[in-house]
Amino acid sequence: MALLSRDQGVRDDEVVVTASGAKPDPAQRKTGIPALIDRVLALRPVRVFFHYTGDNGPLIASGMTYQAIFALFAGLWFAFSVAGFVVKNDPALQSSVFSAINQLIPRLIEYGDTAGAIPAKTLLNTSALSWSGAIALVGVLFTAVGFLGTLRTAIRIMFDLPNPVANPIVLKLKDLGLTFAFGAVVLLTAVISVVSNTALDLVFGLLGLGHATVLQQLATRAVSIVVLVLIDTSILMGAFRVLSGISIPIRRLLVGALIGGVGLAVLQTVGTSLLGGASSNPIIGAFATLVGVLLYFNFVCQVILISASWVDVGMEDAGIDPRSLSPDVEEQEQAEQLEDARRLVAKANQEALEQRIRESSGLRRWRLVRELDREVRAEAQRREEVPTVAEFKQAQERTDDPDPDAQQVEQAERKAE
């Protein structure tokens, strides 16, 4: 159908245009099974899941797992190359450190009666003054910074945002700083876990409850889970807000990170059973523990991205734009969208006018051809007068007005000349 009235040509004029068929039909009330399906699809968890899968979340999580596993191994090797001599001669400290690591990543360290992917003696025998230590240092920095870059990109994809426009060197330095910050948080987790368990033992001892009672075991487990949730929630808040650079209201940030923190704590709690299931598979045999660790990291990455999707869906429902745009940038974007809309209308009107020309003949056809030529030239002149992005920004800066009109833009151009 024609998109213009008889008096309107190519230009986007102040004429009311009625486009037949452009208005959608009113929604019909559904009953029975279709209504039930609609109600289920409207549930927020369902919408979050479809948002996550629609943005290729499982595929992205697989790529993150690949980088995370190498960053983990390089980090462990480097940590024990530097501080292994402190742990090596203290069996009690070894037990505390390896237990804390296995609590964060179940069955990672093979120690005592616990099966794992990495033998404890291999880590304890590493040397800082060796080529392997130097290579591990370079490797941990490269893989950790690369993983954080991948994590940033993945989270921003969940929010339908492009990569941040910034100096790549500054961005890598930021990732390097966050690498040390996240590493310190993981170390703090181990320390808090050891201290909390020791404090509980002391309290139960003072109360005369002895050791290894059911109450003590439950209390120790509860404290460990609470600590894990708090630490994981803090890490996710930093990943969503600081690492990704997304402007998220604090309440929504806290809720989304808490959901992810609980999910990660559950994984860390039941991770032993998960890895045990992988090791019981006779097909993968000797690779069972490593495959289990890969599965565990894949689930961790998926939990992170699902919690990011939860935050994004909630912000969309509330009409909150995740982009931290200044008023100047918002006005510039709106101006670009308005110009795109005007060009789209002009193109549609031109095509409709050309169709009328094909359907006409004689004097009427000649008049329509002249009208089309006149309108095309007028539209070209209008486009020529539209300020460029640079000119629009310059006018914003010189007038302190986020939405300068054509006269202000022209005055800013004269001043610049």
Residue partners of 215: CB distance under 8 A and separation at least 6: 204, 209
* C-alpha closest to that of 101 among 128, 75, 68: 75
204-247 pLDDT per residue, tens: 666 665 555 666 667 667 777 787 788 889 889 988 988 888 88
CB atoms within 10 A of CB 259: 18
pLDDT number for residue 48: 94
pLDDT number for residue 27: 66
Task: Measure the CA–CA gap between 290 and 295, rounded to whole angstroms.
Answer: 9
70-98 pLDDT per residue, tens: 777 777 777 777 666 666 777 777 777 77
Rg (CA), the chain: 31
Q: Is the dihedral of CA 272, 300, 111, 225 positive or negative?
A: negative
Q: What count of Cα atoms within 13 Å lies in the side-chain half-sphere of residue 214?
A: 0
**3-state SS assignment for residue 166:** coil
Q: Which helix (H) or strand (E) holds 359?
A: helix 327-359
Task: Measure the CA–CA gap between 139 and 143, rounded to whole angstroms.
Answer: 6
Instruction: Name beta bridge partners: 118.
Output: 109
* C-alpha closest to that of 63 among 153, 138, 139, 142: 153
**Contact criterion met (CB below 8 Å) for 11 and 375:** yes
Task: Measure the CA–CA gap between 241 and 243, rounded to whole angstroms.
Answer: 6
pLDDT number for residue 197: 62
**Contact criterion met (CB below 8 Å) for 391 and 412:** yes
**3-state SS assignment for residue 111:** strand
pLDDT number for residue 13: 44
Q: Which helix (H) or strand (E) holds 118?
A: strand 118-119
Q: Is the dihedral of CA 322, 325, 326, 327 positive or negative?
A: negative
- Which segments in the chain show pLDDT lower than 50? 1-20
